[in-house]
Chains A and B, each alone.
Chain A
Amino acid sequence: MTIAHDGVREDAGSAEVRMTPTVQTMTMATALNRALADAIEADPDVVVFGEDVGALGGVFRITDGLTERYGEDRCFDTPLAESGIVGTAVGMAMNGMRPVVELQFDAFALPAFDQVVSHVAKLGNRTRGALRMPMVIRIPTGGGIGGVEHHCDSSEAYYAHTPGLTVVCPSTPQDAYSLLRAAIASADPVIFLEPKKLYWTKGEVDTSIVAEIGSARIAREGTDVTLLSYGSSVASCLEAAEIAAAEGRSVQVIDVRTLTPIDDATITAAVRATGRAVVVAEAPGYASVASEIQSRVFERCFEFLEAPVRKVTGFDTPFAPPKFEHWYLPDADRVLDAIDTLHWLDEHGEES
């Protein structure tokens, strides 16, 4: 994939491309804001719109200052109509623009679901490539902020299940920046899920790094078991890995990053090397992306497995009310519990 970046074309054959480094510590929200600004500057066809993204700068301030800096032509508010937002974005994409729309919360993206599934996902295929949909739909996702009903859902499964869509979910400010730039540059439609719990987490961001959509990232090396995760669950995995290290176990953590098309190669190689895997994600487990990853690992790594592939997910209930949230969300302990079940003693010939 070749990416035009600041007027310089680089062959992105490797996952990361280095140019003049611009490294700063910033929150994920700022990283996203920066990515939008840089994209607007880099490509005149990029236009950002949605509800409250203009003067307010977005309910999470992700689009803060964009209208001020670039004008309403590049970043503007729409009427309160999600289907309208996505439907008009489709029309703009048909006419050569690169819309980057914001849908305010997971659940509020649902009125646009018909437009997404019937047209965003299908127009490229319908017209044999004549009409591509180079657009990005940004959606704040997930819980962990004590939000009320409808504001904490995880909807990635609906989109991942729809052929034609790319679904991306970053877990660090760096990935938020780099993957959003890549998503905007992509010729295909991307559902960009932003874990709202992580908006205020800080990290180093090098804006010269261009991430490759469809590639997973090894967040922590390890030899005994592979944790596969994305979004806000990655932090729980890293925490579990740290605790496990003190207990004498070497845990590898992989941030899947792109839910579809998924990086089968990296995941398969990793689990074949450790022989054990646990998939960790916040969304309800039944018929989830976590289930898909679990199933793929079983299929491709069966002969190398020392133990079943486990899944640590949210319960199959509507997302918990704020006061129940801490019982609901998978945490490091739940991850460690799952790791404990992976037939460790059996390795020395004793029944576990």
Chain B
Amino acid sequence: MRQTMSATPHDGDPRDLLPRDEPVRLIDETGVAHADDRYPMPADDLLGRAYRGLVEGRRINDQANALVRQGRLAVYPSSHGQEACQIAASLVLGAQDWLFPTYRDSVAVIARGVSPADAMVLLKGDWHSGYDPHEHGVAPQTTPLATQLLHAVGFAQAAKHRGEDTVVLAMCGDGSTSEGDFHEALNFAAVFQVPVVFFVQNNQFAISVPLSRQTAAPSLAHKAIGYGMPGQRVDGNDVAALLAVLGEAVDRARAGGGPTLVEAHTYRMQAHTNADDDTRYRERAEVQAWVAKDPLTRLRAHLTARGLLDEAHEQELADGAETIAAALRAALNIDTDLDPEDLFRFVRSTRSPQLQEQWHQLRDELERADTVAEGGTR
């Protein structure tokens, strides 16, 4: 019988598990390409799709920010500046694969096919999650850190148990790597050789706490060897390198080679959320320095230099992004009709007598509610 749940120890030179001394980079800040022995430059069409994704992702990030300031979203943890990670994470996966995002990965969620309006339901406050995970293979976004890594492992374990082709990409940040669940997830994944790619978006900050306070390791990718899985580090603003490295990890997992840890070095260009004041813990100069490394800039330069991108095409992309943004605005300007009974509908698969009693209590309250004539002092 199939031994899918048994442990397979890693054989081969353990040093192969260590990441490179320098992050993998294929396109530098100025847009110049650098060849790599192991990681080939992605095909042109893939780069083109990636660039579109970056443009749209950037537009979504900034639109969502504005919507918070206009009171249409409760909060938005932006991935502004990290769009390369977001887009690459989505592009390397197939339709049968699954993405396990964090609360900052809304752009990746949307890139996987979830509509922007649905993706924003959580942050708008209409419900805890706005999409059916099965539809696009995207797990719900939640606030607890690293807990979803274990879910990803279990999910992959089940897929392997049934002999399915699924690869799971589990995303987390640098802060999450300090959580116990990060450790347990990588351990389980390696022991059971499950098809998971652990993608750490190291944007240097966990709210206000810098990376130096999260780890003393040479890099987060170095943690992989401790679990017996390979680790790799990548320039997180280079979508080409990300596609290459993540792509290889996904292929390896799909072929039964087990999990990989990929660390992307990037930077959180904005504050933790709109309600965070990042002047209290970092210098403007540091933030400014990363502007030059913006993922859109370099890819635009590269594609333009190679004649793969011209102004007309740029405009078309910008228009497309604007359409998405407008649709998002329109969707969030609608006040959804909320049904109070939803509080009780989904807690259990069949409603308990107690919940039914409590629904009746709420319903009675609603029937007795005054319609307030004055709209308050607003």
Binding site for B on A (CB under 8 A): 1, 47, 49, 71-73, 76, 78-79, 81, 83-84, 86-97, 99, 111, 114-115, 118-119, 122-132, 163-164, 166, 186-188, 214, 260-262, 264-265
Contacts and interface: CB of A to CB of B under 8 A. Distances in A.
A84 B346 contact: no
Contact of B349 (A111, A187, A264): A187
30 contacts: A73-B5, A78-B191, A79-B184, A83-B180, A84-B181, A87-B150, A87-B151, A87-B184, A88-B185, A91-B150, A91-B156, A95-B154, A95-B155, A95-B159, A97-B161, A111-B180, A114-B147, A115-B150, A115-B181, A123-B140, A126-B128, A126-B129, A127-B128, A127-B132, A128-B127, A131-B134, A164-B348, A187-B350, A188-B349, A264-B353
B133 interface: yes
A73 B161 CA distance: 7
3 nearest A-B pairs in the assembled complex, by CB-CB distance: A91-B154, A87-B150, A88-B154
Given A91-B152, A124-B346, A163-B347, A97 B188 contact: no
Interface residues of B, number: 48
Contact of A78 (B128, B188, B350): B188
B4 interface: yes
Interface of B: 1-6, 127-129, 132-134, 139-140, 142, 144, 147, 149-159, 161, 166, 180-181, 184-185, 187-188, 191, 342, 345-350, 352-355
B370 to A, nearest CB: 28
A92 B158 contact: yes
Contacts of B161: 47, 73, 92, 97
Contacts of A123: 140
Contacts of A1: 350
A95 to B, nearest CB: 4
Interface of B is mostly: helix
B142 A118 contact: yes
A122 B148 CA distance: 13
Nearest to B2: A73
Given A87-B184, A91-B154, A114-B181, 16 more contacts: A83-B184, A88-B153, A91-B152, A91-B153, A114-B147, A115-B150, A115-B181, A118-B142, A126-B129, A127-B346, A129-B349, A130-B132, A163-B347, A164-B348, A188-B349, A261-B355
B155 A127 contact: no
A261 B166 CA distance: 37
A183 B150 CA distance: 23
Contacts of B188: 78-79, 81, 84, 88
Contacts of A128: 127, 129, 342, 345-346
A127 B150 contact: no
A128 B349 CA distance: 10
